Amino acid sequence: MRDTSLAYRTKKSFGVLMMLSFLAFALIPVIWVLILSLRPSSALFDPFWESLSELSFDNFGSILRSDFPRAFMNSFIAATASTTLSMLIGIPAGFSLAKSRMAGKFGASWMLLLLRMAPPVGFVIPLFLVYVNTGLIDTYAGLTFAYMTLTLPLVVWSMWNSFSQIPNELIESALMDGASLRQTLLLIVLPAARPGAVAAAILSFLIAWNDFFYALVITRRATVTAPVSIMNFISFDSVDWGSIAVASICVTLPTIPLMIIANKYIVHSLSGAVKG
């Protein structure tokens, strides 16, 4: 018994040590970015332990004086709009695919997977040509619709999976009690599939928030997003590493509380749990 217990503790300790090692390795870039954001340009790459007193907030001031705050707001507007529209369309679509007896559902599932897995470069050229002819270049509408090519398939697929786990008897009982199909979806089915809906909304927002390629091609100055705006700190003959570090922190910070708050919903969604 002692040998077994000792082996178990040794194995568990080794697993914890490996996890902490990987965590420390992953945190090294984060810590380095934090250090760069607080270093003056004259001592940017000096060993930080040699100049611990040389801390400066000039990099934060330069960010506020640049166009980055506007780009940050553009990212928030486009990500929120695309997520909202994807949820409004994807929830009814997922419910229809999960509970209807329509033909071709198997083909629809493969089409959704194809759209979700296809790289953005497969869509950006046709979108760019359409946007040039319709005047949607450098507009919020154009950026939102472009992001929906990434977020809508994810929402439909996620909600299809979540709604499929809800018993048909629950829906039939609500309909027999006099509820309309819309009331059944909003008041009965959607609350039961809340973990999947929250997870889909969060992942959709993060996909749009972190996008670089679409925004690089179809935005100019008015609607440039935060990831693209970071490139403005790179010029022909210099790189403003301090401002890049601060901008990277600003782009990352909004995602942290979002993931913390919705962590349990994502776990429930991935495990297939549905609360009734």
Predicted confidence at residue 276, as pLDDT, reads 41
- Residues 52-64 have pLDDT tens digits of 667 778 888 888 8
At what angle are helices 105-117 and 140-164 packed, to 10 degrees?
A: 130
How would residue 271 be classed by pLDDT, with cut points 50, 70 and 90?
Answer: low
How would residue 15 be classed by pLDDT, with cut points 50, 70 and 90?
Answer: confident
What is the model's pTM? 0.84
pLDDT of 82 over the 50 cut: yes
Give the chain's end-to-end CA distance (angstroms, integer): 43
Compute the distance between CA of residue 34 and CA of residue 91 in angstroms, rounded to an integer.
Answer: 40
205 vs 232, more confident: 205
pLDDT of 1 over the 60 cut: no
- Residues 114-171 have pLDDT tens digits of 777 778 888 888 899 999 999 999 999 999 999 999 899 889 988 888 888 888 888 8
DSSP bridge partners of 239: 234
Predicted confidence at residue 269, as pLDDT, reads 58
Report the SS3 class of residue 269: helix
Q: What angle do CA 75, 140, 111 make, to 5 degrees?
A: 85
Question: What is the mean predicted confidence (pLDDT) over 8-32?
Answer: 85
| Beta carbons within 8 Å of 122's beta carbon, 6+ residues apart | none
Q: Say which CATH class 67-235+253-271 falls into.
A: mainly alpha
- Residues 85-114 have pLDDT tens digits of 999 999 998 898 888 777 677 777 777 777
- Given a contact cutoff of 8 angstroms between Cβ atoms, the answer to whether 158 and 83 are in contact is no
